[in-house]
Structure 1
Amino acid sequence: MAKPTTPAQRRVIAGADPVTGRLTGTEAQLTALVRLQLAFRHPRPPHAYFLTPAGHRAREEPEQAAPETAPVEPVPGVFAARTGTEDTEDAGGVADGPARQREVRAAWLGLVEMRRMTNVDADRDRPCAWERTHLVQAAAIALEAAGRTPAGQDRDGYRVTATPQPDAVAVREPTPEGVRACATALERAGWQVSEHSERTAGGTGRYVLVSPRRG
């Protein structure tokens, strides 16, 4: 579970620009949010601070506030992408329903904003550096944000797995229609997609190999 933010930090998050996620606050407040992984500092001048996907989620879903004197410590990412390979259906500690939908939407909008702010040409249609270093999670976020359902204990759905290729992941669904739907969703999200066949216990199946589009 993410560490609660202080009231002052909550005010900074709530005051972020609704479109860009740009933050205004003291250097100490902004640096603390970076340590909490709720904000990042843009690498180019004027080195402004912006909400991360976790920060967007924190703005949409108020969490329990901590006292002003609470210590600030780094915490793991507060959003858990569902890859369809988790042991439990309730992966990430959030049940299916409106809360999860809001969480996914906030994560996706945060990624789109990170693309705009960190891609050299401000291209929102091409994956950013974070996505390229977190391929499985990034692809899963794009799929769930597009309305695809991850596999679970009692349901079929997509599964995103790493591959021997360092810049590509594999996406599988039980049906050819599901595979094609995943491919379409990822293409729209800025990924390069190629469909392949493979031998399975039931015969021959299909899957897609996806990698972030570079140009």
Structure 2
Amino acid sequence: MTRPPTAAQRRLIEAADPVTGRLTGTDAQLAALMKRGLAFRHPRPPHDHFLTPAGHRVREAEPEPDVPETRAAAPAASASGVFAARVGGEDPSPAAGPARLREVRGAWQGLLELRRMTNPDGATDRPCGWERGHLVQAAALALEAAGHRPAGPDGGGGYRVRETPQPEAVAVYAPDDAELRACAAALEGAGWQAGEYTEPRTRTRYVLASPRRV
């Protein structure tokens, strides 16, 4: 088995861009991460280095002892400042205001750059592999970047993005039909396929969305 990364390499991994996984470091440091299968060099200029799926797993599994127990109530940003999309149901107060808007805009621009760098044709108008591996977070980011407000802790007042049993699909709920249609339009504008459905038992309306491939 491959040896675990050194403390210095973990610091590089933790410092990677939270959305794109872009790495910064010396040539020797980046080459060492590539040798371990934790990074790859993009074939197109400017030939930046990015975390591989294994590198992302190392970062996601890294313990965060300085994060307080109340973090689950405010997932918009961890103690380390890593951006997190709001899927609905969180306490919005710690993430409200102009600072959150700047974070969302920056994360969305980073995601578009990741699409450009990782989609085979460089397209930015459809989701990339990272989004297909993080469906709920990716859909929530697209909605928040389009100006939609996530639901609060009581479940009302905005969108909620949830996993579904279907592969590569999420369910989006909203407080009324007008907001539901607006969420569907926002996702379609972000490169997703979206359709409106009704749950048979509860008659609850929702949007089923999946990343567009072509």
Identity over aligned pairs, percent:
59
SS at match of 2:96: coil
Query: What are the Cα deviations for residues 91-111 of structure 1, in whole angstroms up to 9, with x where unaligned?
Result: xxx420111111111111111
- Is the Cα–Cα contact under 8 Å of residues 172 and 206 in structure 2 kept in the other structure? yes
- Is the Cα–Cα contact under 8 Å of residues 41 and 47 in structure 1 kept in the other structure? no
Per the TM alignment, residue 29 of structure 1 is displaced from its structure 2 partner at its CA by 5.7
Aligned letter for 2:88?
A: G
Question: Is 43-52 or 100-109 further displaced after alignment?
Answer: 43-52
- Is the Cα–Cα contact under 8 Å of residues 159 and 171 in structure 1 kept in the other structure? yes
SS at match of 2:204: strand
Unaligned runs of at least 5 residues, structure 2:
1-11, 52-57, 64-77
Aligned to 1:110: 110
Aligned letter for 1:180?
A: R
Instruction: Give me the TM-score of the superposition, normalised by structure 1.
Output: 0.66
SS at match of 2:165: coil
SS at match of 2:89: coil
Give the direction of change, closer, same or farther, for the CA distance of 1:168–1:23 in structure 2 (3 Å limit): closer
Aligned letter for 2:139?
A: A
Does residue 205 of the first structure (1) align with residue 208 of the second (2)? no
Give the direction of change, closer, same or farther, for the CA distance of 1:24–1:171 in structure 2 (3 Å limit): closer
Give the direction of change, closer, same or farther, for the CA distance of 1:199–1:184 in structure 2 (3 Å limit): same
Aligned to 1:138: 138
- Is the Cα–Cα contact under 8 Å of residues 51 and 110 in structure 1 kept in the other structure? no
Query: What are the Cα deviations for residues 14-49 of structure 1, in whole angstroms up to 9, with x where unaligned?
Result: xxxxxxx98875224657999xxxxx6444366822
Instruction: Give me the TM-score of the superposition, normalised by structure 2.
Output: 0.67
Per the TM alignment, residue 131 of structure 1 is displaced from its structure 2 partner at its CA by 0.2
Per the TM alignment, residue 187 of structure 1 is displaced from its structure 2 partner at its CA by 0.3
SS at match of 1:207: strand
Aligned to 1:81: 85
Give the direction of change, closer, same or farther, for the CA distance of 1:24–1:206 in structure 2 (3 Å limit): closer
Structure 1 stretches of at least 4 aligned residues deviating more than 4 Å after TM superposition: 21-25, 28-34, 73-77
What is the rounded CA distance, in whole Å, between the counterparts of 2:172 and 2:109 in structure 1?
22
Aligned letter for 1:96?
A: A
Aligned to 2:163: 162
- Is the Cα–Cα contact under 8 Å of residues 41 and 50 in structure 2 kept in the other structure? no
Aligned residues: 170
SS at match of 1:83: coil
Question: Is 146-155 or 167-176 further displaced after alignment?
Answer: 146-155
Give the direction of change, closer, same or farther, for the CA distance of 1:97–1:26 in structure 2 (3 Å limit): same
- Is the Cα–Cα contact under 8 Å of residues 23 and 48 in structure 1 kept in the other structure? no
Aligned to 2:8: none
SS at match of 1:183: helix
What is the rounded CA distance, in whole Å, between the counterparts of 1:89 and 1:23 in structure 2?
30
- Is the Cα–Cα contact under 8 Å of residues 83 and 140 in structure 1 kept in the other structure? yes
What is the rounded CA distance, in whole Å, between the counterparts of 1:114 and 1:158 in structure 2?
25
What is the rounded CA distance, in whole Å, between the counterparts of 2:161 and 2:190 in structure 1?
15
Q: Which has the higher contact order (CA 8 A, sep 6+)?
A: 1
Aligned to 1:214: 213
Does residue 148 of the first structure (1) align with residue 148 of the second (2)? yes
Per the TM alignment, residue 175 of structure 1 is displaced from its structure 2 partner at its CA by 0.2
Unaligned runs of at least 5 residues, structure 1:
1-8, 14-20, 35-39, 53-72
- Is the Cα–Cα contact under 8 Å of residues 42 and 117 in structure 2 kept in the other structure? no
- Is the Cα–Cα contact under 8 Å of residues 83 and 137 in structure 1 kept in the other structure? yes
